Amino acid sequence: MPNDKPVSQQTLLSHDLRHEKGAVTPPIYQSSLFTFSDYDSMIARFRGESDQPLYSRVDNPTVRALQEKVAALEGGEACLAFGSGMAAISNAILSVLQPGAKVVCVNHVYPDTYRFLRGFCQRFGITTEFVDGDDEEAIRAALPGASLLYLESPVSWVMSELNLNKLATLARDAGAVTIIDNSWASPIFQQPLLCGIDIVVHSASKYISGHSDVVAGLVIASQQHIGNIARHISPFLGGKLSAHEASLLMRGLRTLPLRMKQHHQSGMELAQKLRAHPQITAVCHPGLAPKSWSSLRGYSGLFAFEVTEQIDIPAFCNALQYFHMGVSWGGFESLVMPAISVINQASEFNSAVDFGVSPRLIRISIGLEETEDLWNDLQQALATATRA
C-alpha cells in the first residue's frame, strides 16, 4: 500500500530512487554531448516530446538530478543550476526585467547583487530604488511601476529579518515579481515560496555545498518562471554547472539538515555569549530577537557583532586560531570578515559604504568545530586585542 504521508526533508535528501545499474548516487555524466539512436528520436527531442539529454550547456542528467532534488526541498516546481551564485542571481533578475524597467531592492543586499543592479543594469535604462526592508510603508510607496521586488532575509551584514508574507502580498498587489536570496537560511530553515515569493535563488557554494569546494548557484520557482529562464536567458549567458560539481552538491545535500542543526546550535550559543561580553556593543543575529511573524524555522551560523573602540580589529583577527579570514561562508570552517576591510575598498558601488555599515562590525561564520573551542578562541583574541 503506497505511503501518502509527506516525507521529511532529511529523508528526501538521504533517499533516492534507484539510479542506473543500481548506483546509490547519481552517475556523473561527464559528457558534453548526448547522441540519438535514430532520426525520429532526435526530432522528438527538438519538438519537446522527449526528455532525452541533448547538450550539457542546457541539459545534463547529473545536473538534472540535483535540480529535481533542490526543487522538492524548496517546495518549488522546478530548478535550474548555474556555475555560481551570481550567475543564478543575474539570470533570475534578467528573466523578469525589460529595458527601462524599475526595480525595488532592500538595503544591505549582497554586494555583487548591488553592483549588478547599480552598474550593469543601468546600461539598459533599468533603475533601482533601494529601500529599508523593515519599512513596509516605504516599500509599498516604492512599488508602483516596479517590475521586481528583490529581497534577502536576513539581509547581509546587519542580519535583520524581513516579513516575507507581507512583502510578497505587497508586491503581488503592485504587479511586481519577487525574488529572494535564501542562501543564509538554506531550504532547511526557510522556504520562501511557501510565503508567496515567486523566485528563490541560492549561492549553493554556501550551506548547500557545505564543504567549501564548489562554486555554484540555484534558481527555484514555478515551471513558468523556470521555463522562461531556460528558454530566453540561461542558454545564451552560458553559466552552466558541470556534472562533477552537481555531484558534489548532491553529496552536500545528504548532510544539509544535520549540518544546519549544528550551525544553529553553535551560532546561537556564541551569539548569546558575545552579547554578554564587555567589549561587544551589539550582536546582529535574528535569533536574539525573534519575530512573531518569522518564516525562519532555525538560524544559520552567519551573524555579525560590533566591537568597542578599545578593540584593535587587525590584532583581533590576527590572534584568532580557529577562525580564518575569508570572504565566503557556509562551509565546515569558521571564518571572520571585518567590515572595515570592505569599507576601505576602492569601488564605484560600495554597498557597505552606501548602506552605512559600521566600521566596527565583524561578520562571523560559525563552522562545525567544537563550540567551546571557538568560544575560547574568541575570548583570547578579544583579550589580546583590547587596548590598555
pLDDT at 345: 83
pLDDT of residue 1: 43
Q: What is the pLDDT of residue 4?
A: 64
Q: With a threshold of 0.75, does the pTM exceed it?
A: yes
Cell of 296: 525562519
Nearest alpha carbon to residue 179 among 168, 163, 194, 165? 168
Task: Please give the Cα distance from 256 to 250 (Å, whole number).
Answer: 10
Pairing verdict, β 323-325 and 334-338 = parallel
- If you compute the radius of gyration of the chain from its CA atoms, what whole number of angstroms results? 22
Peptide bond into 6 cis (omega under 30): no
Q: For the chain, which domains are there?
A: 9-252 (3.40.640.10), 256-385 (3.90.1150.10)
pLDDT along the chain (388 residues), means of 10: 69 77 83 90 89 86 95 97 97 97 98 96 97 96 98 96 98 98 98 98 98 97 97 92 96 96 98 98 97 97 98 98 96 97 87 96 98 98 94
Residue 55: its pLDDT value, please? 83
Euclidean distance between CA atoms 110 and 142, whole angstroms: 20
What angle separates helix 371-385 from helix 256-275, to the nearest 10 degrees? 40
Amino acid at 249: L
Distance, CA of 67 to CA of 53 (rounded, Å): 14
